Structures are given as structure tokens and as C-alpha cells.
């Protein structure tokens, strides 16, 4: 039987009467501090049980969608090929050391990483693919670009190892793509190095070929001259001229070698000038003292910039200033490289001028020898020239052999350490991980929805909210009635009667309006049951049904009145005793509403209604006035002008908190004293209400009426510990006031 039924059949336990409880007023039914309810594990578990199907449904739906999404995705395979880039004997450090060598290493490896990502490597990799795989890219607008998008490259931390990572739906294709890029980079690097060396070698070979022709021609001329003249020249005279010419020719040979070497050194600087080569990649630039100083400045600037980057954004002015300084140092490094180029160009021009001077001097000596020795010097000069050319050709051949060896060394500095192999299993999708993440997302989504429901739902669910938010006492907490818990309902109305007793100043204010903001919240049942409890305590109680439009109070006592309040107020003479009915409870009387008049508010504005209440005040200990809904029509506000106290009734999970607040504001405007609020139809068995009623009321008081005390559970102990920790964190003391007390 729900709590909306009268308690006529309820009897007091043995040894207990229904008389008033004297002494200290009963405590509030609230749940303690407002924040404790969210920290109470029983509250959280109760919400989880209440919304269990929402949680289970959303979680399983999210997990199922995640599994389906992962199952419908195309499996992708990943293969990796690792290569080693040897810079030429430079030590590989586990941790970067702030030094010139380390900076040069970083610049070099950054440049090589750019080469690995270049389009030239992608185009070469496309050519190195097996024909069957290469054919799959033929119909695309940009085959090389499409292949490049399937492969990524990265440098392993603090090492000279680089990894090509290829992703493809075909496991064999993934391995082929990674290996093709590794081989393409190796061939591209070898091609660039060999091209540089071959260009230098080509210049030297052309010069050697030219000198070889001159040497052959000079041998022929010298032989022809000797055969034609057949002359003998004095040894001492020819030896002087020959010695001088030979020394000049040797000097010319040295200068030519220096000029060729200088031109070879100038070639990379010219590439730097064109912008095709990094200045620090040139050995002559790295060995310059000014460049070394600039490199140290650049390294220190990088360290400062890295520190700023960990604390500030790139828009921070000092950060931008430091970055601009680093760019300036780079420009100075390039400018110094150009200075070296200009210096070498000047040296080359000086060598050319000196060679021209030597040529002129040799020519003069030859002319002098001809005149002095009557032709013998010509023969000696030709022989010396032949010898000089022979020595110079020997030096050029040695240089060409050295460059060939260097090309072979450069070709061996890039090696494939770990070639890619076809993976055994796809790396994506990962069904278990995706399903787990989807499961967790569904769980969090359901928790968020439950939290949003708790925040957006304005119905009164929390008994604490009545005292904490509205600032009025909670004088009664009426649970749903069941046979095994009938004493809980009886004790709840007993406690409500006691609270009303204290609020009325021991019945000095005995006219009590019992109303609710809206209809269907149980105000009539509270009126009837409160009257029954008060009557069984030996008090004379009059129930006045003022709901003239929809009267229900007489139905609780199974009465069928023919007359009522509307007839009494309309009668020529007011004799209330003729209209008042006795109920089955001794000392409990009822004045029913009677027929519905045309204008109910006009009856409550009459002086006779006020006189009726004043007469009832003297005749009865209590006068409980049942009114229509306070916010629906004006009857309630008119009736409230004639009463002493107001008792508001709210239904748990039915009454809207804003409506109850408006009802309170209405009573405040009328300057009426509100005794408190009764929370009706409170289901303490509901999971999210468990901790209020069972933990704070039932477990402590049920055994008083014959029931067995309920021992605290593990959940109760955990909740008590959580509340204790919360109070300590908030600086609260044990026994501190928990809210208003009636």
C-alpha cells in the first residue's frame, strides 16, 4: 500500500503509543553536507544501478561500433628498411656534445634527410621497383608522388641510422617499397659523389690530354731539329741556359699543379655560390678559423634558442631575436665561404699571371740562347720542355688515380643495414585496442549523460537540496508504504507531527495550511495521515477540505457527504457542527468541500470563512486546511491569509525545484510563516536513495519498533571513511551543524 493511503489500519507496536514525543526536536532527514553525496560510494553505485541499462547499452553499442569499424577497415602492413650513412670516419656519439664536429654532423645528417625525402630519390625508387608493382602506379597523374606518400623516413636518435617505413595493404609491396627507397638513396648518393669526382677527373684528363699532345709535338720537333742541324754546341754555354730554362719550367709545372688543385677546390665553392651545396659540406670552409668561430657562435645560439623554446612560444620577441641572430650567423658563414672563393679566385688569377710571366721569361731566355749559341739553345730548350712536360704528365696521372680511389671510398659510405622483409601480421587495424577504446568511450559517455541528467533534471531528488538550496527545513520524509516497512511510514508521520508541534509553538498556532505547488504530489494524503496520527495521540483534529474544484479528502475515509464547506459558507446562518463529519478515528473530524460553486475564490474572501477558522481554532487542537495547488489557481493564496502556518508538500522525483521555490516566494510575499517542507513518496529502496534513508534512518531506528538492527556493510564503512576524509580536508569538525533544525 503506498504512502498516499490513510494509516487507519496501522497500529502502534507493543509498548509504544502515538502520543507526542517531548524533548529535543527530531533531526533533519538530510544527508549531511551537500558535497558528501557525490563522494559516497553508495550514491555512485546507486546511480549506476538506476541507469544500468543506459550504461550497458551505450557501452556495448560503442564497443560494437568500434569492433565493426576496426573489422571493416582494410588491413595495412608496415615494413622498415634501415640504412647507415657514414660521414667519413666522424665519431658517432651517444649523447650530443656541444662542439663543432657535432654541429657539422647535425647539418650533414639534416641535409641527407632532405635528400632521402627528395623527388629524385622517389623517381629512382619507382624505377627500382619490380615491374608488377611499378605498373600499379602507371595510370596515376603523379606516380612518383603517389609512391613517395606510401613511405616515410626518420633518423634514429643520436645515430647515423635512418629508417624507411612503408605502409601498404600488400605485405610484399610494403617490403618492396621500403627496400626500393633505401637502394634509391644509396645509388643517388653514389651518383652525386661520383659525378663530383668525375667532373674534377674530367678537367684533369682534358689537361693531361692537351699536355700529352704538346709533349708529342715537341718530341717530333726536337727530333726533326736535331736530325736537320746535326750541330754540336758548347757544353758550358748550353748548360747555363738549360739550367735556367729547366728551373723555370719546373716552376711552371708546380704552378700548373697548384692551379689545377686550386681549381678543383674552387668547384665545391662554386656549387655553394649557386646554392646547390651547404657551405659546411666543403672541407676548405670547415677548416677556416673564422668559420669555426661562427660555427661555435651558431651552436651556442642554438642552445639558447632551445632553452627559450621550452619556455616561450616562437612569437616571444627574444626568441625571434635569437632566431634572427642564427640566420645572420648562417649568412655570415656563407659570406665567409664566398670570401674564401674570391680569395682562391684571386690566387688562381695570380698563378695565371705568374705562369704568363714565366712563359715570357722562358721565351726571352730561348731568344737569348738562340742569339748567343747560334741555335744551340733552341735544341736545349726543346729538350728541357719535353722533360718538363713528361714530369707534369706523371703528376696528373697520379692525381687521376687518387680521385678514382676517392670515388670508390665515397661509394661505400652508404650501406643497407637491415633490408625490409614482408611482415607477418598487419599493424592496423588493431581490433582489440580499438574495441577497448570504444568501450571506455561508451563508459565515459554514459557517465557524462548521467551527470548531465543529474544536473539538468530540476525535479527534487535530493532531500538535502531542500534545506541547502531553498533555505527551509525538511520537517518530514514520507517513504512509500509496504507491509514489511509499515512502521517506517508510521514513524515518519510521528516525526512530522512532532516537528509541527514545535513549529506551532506547542499548538499556539494551530491552523495549518497544507498545500503543494502542483497537483498530484500527495498533499491530501499527507493531510489525512497527519490528522490520523495527531488524533491517535489524543488531540482533537479538524480536517478542512478547501479544494472546492477537485476535493478528494473525504475519499480517504470512505465518506460520501451531501453537504460541505461551500454549503456552509452559503447558508443564512453558520452552524458548522451540522456540516462536520466524524471519521473512523476517534478525535478526527472532517469538513468536506461540498459542491463546486461558480466562483470559489469569492467564498474564501468572505468574512464568514475567517470566522469559521477562528471558531475552529477554539474548538479543536489542530485545524489542517487542505488547499488546491498553490501555483495553479489563486485559492491557495486567499486561504493562506487566514492561517497561522504553512506546510508545503513535495513529491520525490515529481515536484520541480523551481515550482517549489515559487511557492515559497508566494508565501513570503504574503508574510506567512512556512513550517517546512514534507518530501512525500520517498522510495528509500531505490538504489540512488539507499544511502539517505537506510544509512541514516532505517538502520538506526527500525529495530526500535521490533525489527532487527542492520549491521553496517563494507559499503557503509567505505562511505563513512570517505565522508570523514572529506570533512578533514574541508576543515570541518565532528558534530558540526549539518543544516537547519525545526
The pLDDT tens digits for 573-596 are 878 888 999 998 899 999 998 888
622 and 496 fall within a common domain:
yes
655 in the same domain as 512: yes
Q: Are 626 and 579 in contact (CB under 8 A)?
A: no
Q: Are 298 and 353 in contact (CB under 8 A)?
A: no
Name the burial class of residue 566, with classes exposed (0-12), middle (13-18) and buried (19+) by CB atoms within 10 angstroms of its CB.
buried
Can you tell me the mean pLDDT for 279-303?
A: 76
Instruction: Give residue 740's pLDDT band: very low, low, confident or very high (50, 70, 90).
Output: very low
Chain centre to alpha carbon of residue 95:
31
Please give, one letter per residue, the 3-state secondary structure of 216-283: HHHHHHHHHHHHHHCCCCCHHHHHHHHHHHHHHHHHHHHHHHHHHHHHHHHHHHHHHHHCCCCHHHCH
Say if residue 11's pLDDT is above 90. no
Q: Are residues 350 and 446 in the same domain?
A: no
Mean pLDDT, all residues of the chain: 75
Cell digits of residue 276: 646547390
Domain boundary among 359, 374, 389: 374
Q: Which of 338, 272, 331, 268 is nearest to 297 (CA)?
A: 331
Does residue 228 belong to any structural domain of this protein?
no
CA dihedral 148, 151, 157, 160 (to 10 degrees): -70
Q: Give the CATH number of the domain where residue 610 resides.
A: 3.40.50.300
| pLDDT exceeds 70 at position 39 | no
pLDDT in tens, 251-262: 778 878 877 777
Residues 703-715: pLDDT tens digits?
Answer: 444 444 445 554 4
Give dist(CA 583, CA 337) in Å, integer: 115
One domain, residues 326 and 440? no
Q: 374, 395, 420 — which closes off a domain?
A: 374
Residue 513 located in a structural domain = yes
Range among 303-307, 338-342, 375-379, 639-643 rated most confident? 639-643
In a domain, 392, yes or no: no
Residue 360 lies in a domain: yes
**Could you give the number of structural domains in the chain?**
4
Quote the longest CA-to-CA distance of the chain: 179
Is residue 165 a part of any domain in this protein?
no
pLDDT tens per residue across span 512-539: 999 999 888 888 999 999 999 999 999 9
Position 717 scores a pLDDT of: 57
Q: Where residue 315 falls among pLDDT bands split at 50, 70, 90?
A: confident
Residue 627 in domain: yes
CATH of the domain at 271: 1.10.287
pLDDT surpassing 50 at residue 212? yes
Q: Could you say which of 374, 407, 441 is where a domain stops?
A: 374
- Asked if residues 524 and 543 have their Cβ atoms less than 8 Å apart, the reply is no
pLDDT > 90: percent of the chain: 12
Global confidence as pTM: 0.48
544 and 663 co-located in one domain: yes
What lies within 8 Å, CB to CB, of 412 at 6+ separation is: none
H/E stretch holding 155 reads: strand 151-155
Q: Residues 566, 593: contact at Cβ < 8 Å?
A: yes
pLDDT at residue number 416 = 85
Q: What is the mean pLDDT of residues 20-31?
A: 33
| Domain extent for 714 | 684-732
Percent of the chain with pLDDT over 70: 71
Residue with cell 482533537: 540
In this structure, are 546 and 582 located in the same domain? Answer: yes
Residues 447 and 318 in one domain: no
User: Measuring CA to CA, which residue among 650, 631, 646 is closest to residue 461?
Assistant: 650
**629 and 723 belong to one structural domain:** no
3-state secondary structure of 479: strand
531 touches 543 (CB < 8 A): yes
Residues 350 and 443 in one domain: no
Handedness of CA 466, 468, 469, 470 (dihedral sign): positive
pLDDT tens sequence across 531-577: 999 999 999 999 999 998 888 898 888 888 888 888 888 888 878 88
Q: Tell me whether residue 402 is in a domain.
A: no
Q: Is residue 212 classed exposed, middle or buried when 0-12, 13-18 and 19+ CB atoms within 10 A define those classes?
A: middle
Residue 83 to residue 182: CA distance in whole angstroms: 7
Q: Are residues 444 and 534 in the same domain?
A: no
Q: Identify the residue with better confidence: 188 or 398.
A: 188
Pick the range with the lowest mean pLDDT from 219-223, 403-407, 428-432, 666-670: 403-407
- Do 542 and 668 lie in a common domain? yes
Structural domain includes residue 610: yes
Residues 515 and 638 in one domain: yes
* Pairing status of strand 673-682 against strand 474-479: parallel
Lowest mean pLDDT among 146-150, 209-213, 245-249, 648-652: 209-213
Question: What is the band of 653 on the pLDDT scale with cuts at 50, 70, 90?
Answer: confident
Q: Sorting pLDDT into bands at 50, 70 and 90, what band is 649? A: very high
Q: Which tops the pLDDT comparison, 321 or 669?
A: 669
Amino acid at each position: 500500500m503506498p504512502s498516499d493511503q490513510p494509516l487507519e489500519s496501522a497500529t502502534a507496536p507493543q509498548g509504544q503509543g502515538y502520543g507526542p514525543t517531548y524533548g529535543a526536536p527530531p533531526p533533519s532527514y538530510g544527508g549531511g553536507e551537500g558535497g558528501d553525496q557525490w563522494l559516497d560510494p553508495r550514491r555512485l553505485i546507486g546511480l549506476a544501478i538506476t541507469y544500468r541499462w543506459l550504461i550497458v547499452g551505450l557501452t556495448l553499442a560503442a564497443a560494437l561500433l568500434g569492433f565493426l569499424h576496426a573489422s571493416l577497415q582494410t588491413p595495412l602492413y608496415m615494413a622498415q628498411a634501415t640504412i647507415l650513412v657514414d660521414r667519413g670516419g666522424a665519431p658517432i656519439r651517444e649523447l650530443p656534445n656541444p662542439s663543432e664536429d657535432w654541429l657539422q654532423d647535425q647539418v650533414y645528417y639534416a641535409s641527407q634527410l632532405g635528400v632521402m625525402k627528395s623527388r629524385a630519390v622517389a623517381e629512382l625508387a619507382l624505377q627500382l621497383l619490380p615491374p608488377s608493382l611499378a605498373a600499379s602506379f602507371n595510370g596515376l597523374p603523379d606516380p612518383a608522388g603517389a609512391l613517395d606518400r606510401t613511405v616515410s623516413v626518420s633518423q634514429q636518435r643520436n645515430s647515423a641510422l635512418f629508417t624507411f617505413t612503408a605502409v601498404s595493404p600488400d605485405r610484399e609491396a610494403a617490403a618492396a617499397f621500403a627496400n626500393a627507397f633505401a637502394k634509391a638513396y644509396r645509388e643517388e648518393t653514389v651518383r652525386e659523389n661520383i659525378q663530383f669526382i668525375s667532373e674534377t677527373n674530367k678537367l684533369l684528363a682534358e689537361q693531361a690530354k692537351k699536355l700529352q699532345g704538346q709533349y708529342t709535338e715537341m718530341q717530333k720537333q726536337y727530333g726533326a731539329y736535331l736530325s736537320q742541324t746535326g750541330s754540336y754546341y758548347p757544353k758550358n754555354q748550353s748548360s747555363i741556359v738549360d739550367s735556367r730554362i729547366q728551373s723555370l719550367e719546373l716552376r711552371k709545372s708546380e704552378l700548373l699543379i697548384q692551379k689545377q688543385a686550386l681549381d678543383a677546390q674552387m668547384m665545391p665553392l662554386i656549387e655553394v655560390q649557386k646554392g646547390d651545396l651547404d657551405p659546411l659540406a666543403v672541407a676548405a670552409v670547415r677548416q677556416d678559423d673564422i668559420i669555426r668561430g661562427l660555427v661555435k657562435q651558431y651552436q651556442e645560439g642554438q642552445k639558447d634558442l632551445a632553452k627559450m623554446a621550452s619556455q616561450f612560444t616562437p612569437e616571444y620577441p627574444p626568441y625571434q631575436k635569437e632566431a634572427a641572430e642564427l640566420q645572420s650567423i648562417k649568412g655570415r658563414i656563407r659570406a665567409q665561404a664566398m670570401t674564401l672563393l674570391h680569395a682562391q679566385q684571386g690566387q688562381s688569377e695570380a698563378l695565371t699571371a705568374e705562369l704568363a710571366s714565366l712563359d715570357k721569361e722562358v721565351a726571352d731566355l730561348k731568344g737569348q740562347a738562340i742569339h748567343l749559341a747560334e741555335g744551340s739553345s733552341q735544341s736545349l730548350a726543346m729538350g728541357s720542355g719535353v722533360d718538363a712536360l713528361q714530369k707534369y704528365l706523371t703528376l696528373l696521372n697520379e692525381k687521376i688515380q687518387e680521385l678514382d680511389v676517392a670515388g670508390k671510398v665515397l661509394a661505400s659510405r652508404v650501406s643497407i643495414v637491415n633490408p625490409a622483409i614482408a611482415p607477418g601480421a598487419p599493424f592496423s587495424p588493431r581490433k582489440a585496442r580499438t574495441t577497448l577504446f570504444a568501450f571506455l568511450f561508451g563508459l565515459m559517455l554514459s557517465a557524462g549523460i548521467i551527470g548531465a541528467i543529474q544536473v539538468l533534471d530540476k525535479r527534487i531528488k535530493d532531500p538535502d537540496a531542500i534545506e541547502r538550496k531553498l533555505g527551509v527545513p525538511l520537517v518530514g520524509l514520507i517513504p512509500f508504504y509496504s507491509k514489511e516497512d509499515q512502521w517506517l511510514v508510521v514513524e515518519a508521520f510521528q516525526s512530522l507531527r512532532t516537528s509541527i508541534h514545535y513549529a506551532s509553538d506547542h499548538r499556539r498556532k494551530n491552523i495549518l495550511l497544507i498545500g503543494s505547488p502542483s497537483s498530484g504530489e500527495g498533499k491530501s494524503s499527507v493531510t489525512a495521515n497527519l490528522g490520523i496520527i495527531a488524533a491517535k495521540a489524543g488531540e482533537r483534529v479538524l480536517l478542512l477540505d478547501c479544494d472546492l474544484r477537485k476535493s478528494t479528502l473525504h475519499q480517504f475515509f470512505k465518506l460520501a457527504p451531501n453537504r460541505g464547506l461551500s454549503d456552509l459558507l452559503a447558508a443564512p446562518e453558520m452552524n458548522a457542527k451540522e456540516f462536520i463529519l466524524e471519521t473512523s478515528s476517534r478525535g478526527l473530524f472532517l469538513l468536506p468541500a461540498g459542491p463546486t460553486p461558480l466562483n470559489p475564490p469569492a467564498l474564501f474572501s468572505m468574512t464568514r470563512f475567517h470566522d469559521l477558522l477562528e471558531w475552529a481554532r477554539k474548538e479543536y487542537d489542530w485545524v489542517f486546511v487542505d488547499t488546491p495547488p498553490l501555483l495553479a489557481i489563486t485559492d491557495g493564496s486567499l486561504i493562506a491569509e487566514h492561517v497561522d502556518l504553512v506546510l508545503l508538500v513535495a513529491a520525490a522525483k515529481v515536484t520541480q525545484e523551481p515550482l517549489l521555490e515559487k511557492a515559497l516566494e508566494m508565501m513570503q510575499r504574503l508574510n506567512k510563516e512556512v513550517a517546512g517542507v514534507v518530501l512525500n513518496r520517498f522510495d528509500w529502496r531505490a538504489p540512488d536513495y539507499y544511502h539517505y534513508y537506510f544509512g541514516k534512518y532505517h538502520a538506526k531506528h527500525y529495530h526500535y519498533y521490533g525489527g532487527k538492527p542492520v549491521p553496517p556493510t563494507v559499503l557503509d564503512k567505505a562511505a563513512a571513511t570517505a565522508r570523514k576524509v572529506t570533512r578533514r580536508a574541508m576543515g570541518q569538525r565532528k558534530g558540526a551543524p549539518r543544516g537547519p533544525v525545526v
